[in-house]
Structure 1
Amino acid sequence: MRKATLIAFAWLAGCATYHAQPIAPIELARQFEHRSLTSEGLHVYIARELGHDIAPWPPTRWNSETLSMAAWYYSPTLDIARAQWGTANAGIDVANAIPNPVLTLPFQYATPNPGPGAPYTTGPALDIPIETAHKRGYRVDQASHLSEAARLTIASEAWKVRSQVRVALLALYAARERIAILSRKAEAERRIAEMSRKRLELGQFSRPDVDAAVLADTQAQSDLAAARSVEENARAQLAVAIGLPVAALDGVQYDLDEFRAAPPAPPAADAQREAIFHRADLLASLADYAAAESALQLEVAKQYPDIHLGPGYSYDTGINRIAFGLAGITLPIFDRNEGGIREAEAKRKEAATRTAALQDAILGDLDHALAHYRSSLEALRLSDAHLADARKQVNSEASAFAAGNIDRLTYTQAVADYQTSEIARLDAEVAVQQAAGAIEDAMQQPFGHGAVRHTMSEAQAR
């Protein structure tokens, strides 16, 4: 009896226990407000991802790569994807579990007593289930494929986060460049309005000419204020993409030089290869299809009944009985799991159709993005040519003004017109970068940056 008690206590000691983990919204809000780009935890994470330390910390200028890593560290979307992967991994352990035997302790009291011994029947018996037809293996395969799909979903979500960071940085770059241009244009329009008023006083200008100059000045000031508002919105957008409070970006310096380059479009065949073989969401869809295959194999295997061994001992009113038979076996007479097999086949077909549709959509988006990028590059080329002509024109006006051939008002108007050409060129440059981002999103791979794929694959670990 003492030995049985020790065994029972040892068994209970091996059981998992429940630990409450309540969520306090106030504490979550406090944690969010304390997030920053100077965190030592973020420092360790980025150093591990880059494979080398960053000195000094924090860096003096943040680029899209380091800010993307900060977003991977803080992003709640990635935290959800990581948690889902943990759930899927736990599903492998569940699928791999061996069914436990069932212990039965029947007891019957006989009256009158038919035997020579005590008037009762009792004794332990076991029901030991044995799965057949490799059912457990198919369950493990299915759970493993679902786990792989969940892992790849992390990479897919990581790319989306990176894309959001890039979009926000591009908006910030465009806003700052526009502010610089509009500041010069607003200054020129202000001087034009002042000179127009003075000429009106001297009788050299008519009222409509002055009104037009004042209207242009007012519009330039309004455009400048709108550009500054866009800059603030871009900072807020970047903070959301990273998972930081906006105040955490105060004083941060950015390296936005990457948006000044316009690399040639990648060959269509190479881009398609990148998209087909490396897009995480497509690979995850293939893993889902493999899980559907394993599920179908499991349903087919369920046609074959499991075996239940039933060894046991019983004391039957004075007679000792030892059993070695089968506790039970399901006879596939009325149902051979036809319904389960048909459902699994339909789900496999659905998974195959979903994968094919996703690939078609990816290739269609890629073709459109490549065509749009090429046309944007051509538009940028034409805008560069137009800006060069405008530059020659304003230089000519500057020479004429220096020689006294034109007055200051005419020269200042030429300068303001040149700023308009600069804005048009900036719009073309931003359009090229937006088209480049669409290509990268279609491939889930920045062209010209081979090291990024490794970083993307490591975004699953925090």
Structure 2
Amino acid sequence: MHRAVHPQRIPATRSCRVSAFRMTGAVVVALVVSACASYAPLPLDRGEGAAGVAQLVAPAADMPLPSLATHRFDPADGLDVTETAMLAVANSPALKLKRDELGVARAQAFAAGLLPDPQLSLGEDFPTHSGGGLSTAFNLGLGEDIGALLTRSSRQAAARSQAGQVNLDLLWAEWQTVAQARLLFDQVLNLRAQQARLASEQAALDQVGGHIHAALAAGNLTYDSASVGLNAAADVRKQQADNTVALHQADSDLHVLLGLASTAPLELVGAPYRVTPTPAQLQQALADLLHRRPDLLALQAGYQAQEAKLRGAVLAQFPALTLGVNSARDTSAIYTHGFSLGITLPLFDRNRGNIAIERATRQQLKDDYASRVLTTRSDMQRLAADLATLDRQHRALTVHAEQLADARRAAEQSWRHGLLDWPTWLAIRSRSLAADLDLLAVQQQQATQSIALEALLGNTDFDIATHPVSAQASTP
């Protein structure tokens, strides 16, 4: 029996076994290689920003608001306030980062829907001595994590809601970028207007400066008497310097928002953005607040994602199951086929810690949402009241500035004809300058508050019901 089996059967069996292992290994290698993703390096750039706006584009189809989507983008003749907002949406570095976050969220949603890979196990045992009818033993098993399949739907729901939240956060960031572009456009133009007014005042004071220095040199004027004129010129120079610094800051902020290099020329043309929501628009926005504001909708999506996470944590408290099938042969050449079942005994952990964490997080998100809604309603009412106050102040300052401008012009004529002393003329000029600068400051405050209120309203030209935000995950 020994001579009849071993010289012939063992080599044949070993050959079959080797062939089977080789075939199994080839299949495994083929599957792994076919599923592998390729790698390509992505070098960092220098982060210098665009050298100019001529080569930049702002596709209307990518604009988040109808008022931008219907506006023609042509930077050849300079940027008006709407083109500035369009360029900010298309080229803002901060928005590019937000869009990258959306890509990550969609990739996470895609990953959450993937089934767990089965686990393949291969083993081989060699006898320590030959003879006695012993052969090499092997075992082959295939297992799958059943617990991961049970929580897959909860993971998918959470990931989809999170992707929707990031998408809505992106839309809200685009709205805020539009508001910021409009505000910086207005600030730059307002500071330029202040600079021009101060320059004209400096030119006027230079006229009397020559008389003061000549009188001091001739001994006809003391420094005490001349201090009014000298201080007036010094005050204007200081205001010019402060205004120049503020203008540099606003211009730099606008360049960064538009993704432009600091040395890129930027020509702003046209009037600044001016809009004041009506009381009817304010009331309608308050009524539709929870259904129109992307940031509030994003918080709702985040809360739904947390609900799904809590459901998944509750499901995960049940025993984790691992199911597998196996085939084996021992050293006596006896083949066996069977299955394996792994189960986690819920004696101590039972996922209670994760359930408590997810439940507490849900409560935190709920309270955060309520706080945000309350703060938003309060801010909207406050900004509306502030705008009404600023409107009354603007009307009063306009009249006051016009009266002082008339007085300044009359005083200048009287001074030139020798009917008015120069200290009185300087005092009148100083009051007129202060009134003009106050008027420009109030105009800037009005622009700031009205742009902020429109952003809080949710942009009155936008209807989220007709511009749905997709929260579906795409395959990367």
With the length of structure 2 as denominator, give the TM-score of the two structures. Answer: 0.78
Which residue does 2:163 correspond to in 1? 147
Which residue does 1:233 correspond to in 2? 249
| Local SS of the residue matching 1:328 | strand
Whole-angstrom distance in 1 between the partners of 2:463 and 2:384 = 22
For residue 81 of structure 1, the aligned residue among 71, 86, 98 is: 98
For residue 322 of structure 1, the aligned residue among 324, 337, 340 is: 337
Which residue does 1:296 correspond to in 2? 310
> Is 1:379 paired with 2:393?
yes
Seen in structure 2, the aligned counterparts of structure 1 residues 450 and 141 have a Cα distance that, compared at 3 Å, is: closer
Which residue does 1:342 correspond to in 2? 356
Whole-angstrom distance in 1 between the partners of 2:27 and 2:231 = 92
Verify the 8 A CA contact 1:75 1:241 in the aligned structure 2: yes
Amino acid across the alignment from 2:352: E
Amino acid across the alignment from 2:276: P
Gaps of 5+ in 1: none
Amino acid across the alignment from 1:92: A
> Is 1:69 paired with 2:89?
no
> Is 1:174 paired with 2:190?
yes
For residue 215 of structure 1, the aligned residue among 222, 228, 231 is: 231
Whole-angstrom distance in 1 between the partners of 2:469 and 2:263 = 30
Which residue does 2:5 correspond to in 1? none
What root-mean-square deviation, in Å, do the aligned CA atoms of Structure 1 and Structure 2 show?
4.0
Larger Rg: 2
Verify the 8 A CA contact 2:51 2:263 in the aligned structure 1: no
> Is 1:360 paired with 2:380?
no
- Give, in angstroms, the shift of residue 257 of structure 1: 1.1
For residue 36 of structure 2, the aligned residue among 10, 13, 16 is: 16
Whole-angstrom distance in 2 between the partners of 1:225 and 1:201 = 29
Q: Give identity over the alignment, percent.
A: 20
Seen in structure 2, the aligned counterparts of structure 1 residues 189 and 396 have a Cα distance that, compared at 3 Å, is: closer
Which residue does 2:319 correspond to in 1? 305
Which residue does 1:104 correspond to in 2? 121
Verify the 8 A CA contact 1:128 1:308 in the aligned structure 2: yes
For residue 272 of structure 1, the aligned residue among 273, 276, 286 is: 286
After superposition, give the CA deviation of every residue in 1:365-398 in whole Å (9 maximum; x if it has no partner). Answer: 3333222222212211211222243355457668
Equivalent positions of 1:53-68 (< 5 A) are 54=72, 57-68=74-85
After superposition, give the CA deviation of every residue in 1:184-210 in whole Å (9 maximum; x if it has no partner). Answer: 222232334445667889999876544
- Give, in angstroms, the shift of residue 18 of structure 1: 5.1
Whole-angstrom distance in 2 between the partners of 1:5 and 1:224 = 80
- Give, in angstroms, the shift of residue 298 of structure 1: 0.5
For residue 432 of structure 2, the aligned residue among 390, 415, 418 is: 418
Whole-angstrom distance in 1 between the partners of 2:237 and 2:302 = 55
Q: Which moved more, 1:152-161 or 1:96-105?
A: 152-161
Q: Which moved more, 1:79-88 or 1:264-273?
A: 264-273
Which residue does 2:295 correspond to in 1? 281
| Local SS of the residue matching 2:263 | helix
Verify the 8 A CA contact 1:189 1:416 in the aligned structure 2: no
Gaps of 5+ in 2: 1-18, 471-476
Seen in structure 2, the aligned counterparts of structure 1 residues 232 and 205 have a Cα distance that, compared at 3 Å, is: same
Amino acid across the alignment from 2:200: R
Verify the 8 A CA contact 1:275 1:442 in the aligned structure 2: no
Whole-angstrom distance in 2 between the partners of 1:93 and 1:373 = 47
Amino acid across the alignment from 1:282: L
Whole-angstrom distance in 2 between the partners of 1:148 and 1:52 = 26
- Give, in angstroms, the shift of residue 52 of structure 1: 7.0
| Local SS of the residue matching 1:254 | coil
Equivalent positions of 1:131-142 (< 5 A) are 131=147, 134-142=150-158
Whole-angstrom distance in 1 between the partners of 2:50 and 2:38 = 30
Seen in structure 2, the aligned counterparts of structure 1 residues 117 and 69 have a Cα distance that, compared at 3 Å, is: farther
